Structure 1
C-alpha cells in the first residue's frame, strides 16, 4: 500500500477528483494548506505599503491506494495539475505499513476497496 500526497493549485482539484472517481478511487482527504517553494511570494500594495505574501495557498490531496494503483492515480493528478508554470505543486508517494477499517476490523488492502456502486452513485 502507498500513500499519495499531492500539493496542487485549487483549480486543479475538481478535475482530479472527478477523474479519480471515474477510475474507482473515491476515497480522498483534502486540506487547505499554505506553503512556499520556487514560486516565491507575491508582492501587493495595500494602503501605500508593499506587502509580500511568501506563503501561497494550495490544496493538499491525500489518498492511500494499493501499490499497483499508484501510477494510475499519479498520472491522473499530473494530467490535471500540470500547467507548465512554477507553482504547479508536488506529488509524494510514501509507503504504508498497515491499514485498518475501524467499523469492521478489516486490515490490509481490503480496507482500500470501495463499496460496490460508490463511483456510480456519486456520478
Structure 2
C-alpha cells in the first residue's frame, strides 16, 4: 500500500475527485492547505502572496494502483495544455499497515 498526497489548485479538486471516483477510487481525505512552492510565492502587481491556498488530497491505494492514480491526478489537476507553475505536487510514501476502526480489520 502507498499513501498518495496531492497538493493541487482549489478549482481543480472537483474534476480530480470526480475522475477518481469514476475510476473506482472513492476513498479520499481532503484538506485546505496554504503554502508556497519553489517559486516562493506569487507577486501580482505590488502585492506579494507567500501563502497560496491549495487543497491536499490523501489516498491510500494498493501498490499496483499507484501509477494509475498518479497519472489521473496529473491529468486532471493540470492547467492548460502544458501546465503552469503552481499546479501542485504529488508525493508517494509507503504505508506499512492500515486498520478499519469499526471492524478492527487490517488492509484496504
Q: How does 1:3-22 map to 2 (within 5 A)?
A: 3-22=3-22
- TM-score when scaled to structure 1? 0.79
Q: Unaligned 5+ residue runs, structure 2? A: none
Aligned-pair RMSD on alpha carbons? 1.5
Aligned positions of 1:80-95 closer than 5 A:
80-83=76-79, 84-95=83-94
Query: Deviations for 1:49-102, whole angstroms, at most 9, x for unmatched residues?
Result: x54220111100000001111111111100111121110110010000000111
Contact 1:43 1:51 in 2 (8 A): yes
The 3-state SS of whatever aligns with 1:3 is strand
Give the TM-score, by structure 2 length.
0.89
Show the 5 A alignment for 1:1-123.
1-43=1-43, 50-83=46-79, 84-108=83-107, 112=108
| Greater helix share, structure number | 1
Matched residues in 2 for 1:25 and 1:94: separation?
18
Partners in 1 of 2:26 and 2:20 — Cα distance?
6
Q: Is the 8 A contact 1:38 1:86 kept in 2?
A: no
